[in-house]
């Protein structure tokens, strides 16, 4: 994922049963140079319970990525279907779907 932290505006929301609720989302980039590919760490904090099949939509403006599936690493990767999120370059939205039995 290529990002520009200097120009990245972040809007994050989830849709549960048609309702939108605000999440606390924190992004970390390494390296910080906007001209280089970066490792992005996404921290999602919520007091909303998530159930299998629920989706979280992260609108990440100024991100550049040629992949449609973004594979996650880390201890919580298995909480999402296929351990990945789906990237839609036309809308700049990363969709995370909660895995079964999570």
Q: Is the pTM of this model over 0.75?
A: no
- Under a CB-based contact definition with an 8 Å cutoff, are residues 101 and 54 in contact? no
User: Which long-range contacts (C-beta less than 8 Å, at least 24 apart) are formed by 35-38?
Assistant: 36/2, 37/1, 37/2, 38/1, 38/2, 38/3, 38/5
pLDDT band for 80, please (50, 70, 90 cuts). Answer: very high
Tell me the average pLDDT across 47-52.
Answer: 79
Q: Is the pLDDT of residue 68 over 80?
A: yes
């Amino acid at each position: 994922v290529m990002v520009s932290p200097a120009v990245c505006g972040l809007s994050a929301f989830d849709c549960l049963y048609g309702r939108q609720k605000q999440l606390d989302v924190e992004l970390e980039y390494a390296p910080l140079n906007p001209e280089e590919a970066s490792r992005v760490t996404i921290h999602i904090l919520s007091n909303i319970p998530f159930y299998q099949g629920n989706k979280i939509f992260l609108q990440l403006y100024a991100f550049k990525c040629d992949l449609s599936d973004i594979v996650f690493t880390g201890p919580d990767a298995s909480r999402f279907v296929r351990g990945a999120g789906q990237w839609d370059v036309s809308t700049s939205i990363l969709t995370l779907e909660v895995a079964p039995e999570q």
